[in-house]
Copies of this chain bind each other. A is one copy, B any other.
Amino acid sequence: MMNHYPSSLKNLIKNFARLPGIGQKTAERLAMHVLRAPESEARQLAESLVALKGSIKLCTRCFALSDSDVCHICDDPARDATIVCVVEQPADMAAIEKSGAFKGCYHILQGVLSPMDGIGPDKIRISELVKRAKDGAVKEIILATSTSVEGEATASYLSNILEKHPVEVTRIASGVPIGGDLKYVDQVTLKRAMENRNAV
């Protein structure tokens, strides 16, 4: 279908189709929308794409995405800097922030251990976490990596390493999601929920 479009349109379709989860048809639909939409809309999207790469830094303390050297959470005196929640990605931190359940600080690993993809301990921010555990300011480290195979392996690796340091290491609870119908919950989750059962 592409051959019947002018080259500038083909070019935009190609670039949209490189985004994750955007196939050829969706890319065409998006490009057609841009064509019809006011020029300001296309220009704003273009400008925000270029601006992003220029302005985003990683917080030097927790490696969260930030506009400045230290992110707004690390910089906030109301946050409890003695509790550090370790997550894989910035989006995980955003999800926990949205829940409002946590008032400490974060450490964003910027990835997860995955030997198959060549991601070892030196590729993610583990040495920086160990340094934070060592200097005595942190009392508890909550491992909130995901419950995937890689996430569990990373949590297990981290708890082994952090054991040697004067810090309490905990793992977020796993079990049946709230509002979940038991018959639709997978067996591994059910098994975990049974093992981790609590007194009521």
Task: Check A52 against B9 for contact (C-beta < 8 Å).
Answer: yes
Which chain B residues lie closer than 8 Å to A45 at the CB level?
12, 15-16, 18-19, 46, 49
Which one of A92-100, A136-144, A161-169, A184-192 contacts B?
A92-100
Given A21-B26, A30-B19; A51-B11 close (CB under 8 Å): yes
Task: Check A49 against B42 for contact (C-beta < 8 Å).
Answer: yes
Which chain B residues lie closer than 8 Å to A51 at the CB level?
8, 11-12
Interface size class of A (residues with CB under 8 A): 35 or more
| Residue of A19, A20, A28 with most chain B CB atoms under a 10 A cut-off | A19
Chain A, interface SS category: helix
| Of the residues B21, B26, B31, B56, contact of A35 by C-beta under 8 Å | B56
**Copies of chain A in the complex:** 2
Q: Is A90 on the interface with B (CB-CB < 8 A)?
A: yes
Q: Is A65 on the interface with B (CB-CB < 8 A)?
A: yes
Which chain B residues lie closer than 8 Å to A90 at the CB level?
5, 32
User: What separation, in Å, do the CA atoms of A41 and B18 have in the docked complex?
Assistant: 9
Q: How far is the CB of A98 from chain B (nearest CB, A)?
A: 5
B interface footprint on A84-111 (CB within 8 Å = 1, 0 otherwise): 0000011101110110000000000000
Residue of B nearest to A16 (CB): B45
Q: Is A1 on the interface with B (CB-CB < 8 A)?
A: yes
In residues 48-73 of chain A, which contact B (Cβ within 8 Å)?
48-56, 65-67, 73
Report A's interface with B, CB cutoff 8 A.
1, 3-9, 11-12, 14-16, 18-22, 26, 28-35, 39, 41-56, 65-67, 73, 89-91, 93-95, 97-98
Q: Assuming A42-B49, A46-B47, A46-B50, what are 18 further A-B pairs, CB within 8 angstroms?
A: A3-B97, A4-B73, A4-B93, A6-B65, A6-B66, A8-B56, A8-B67, A11-B51, A12-B45, A21-B30, A28-B91, A34-B52, A35-B52, A35-B53, A42-B53, A45-B46, A45-B49, A46-B46
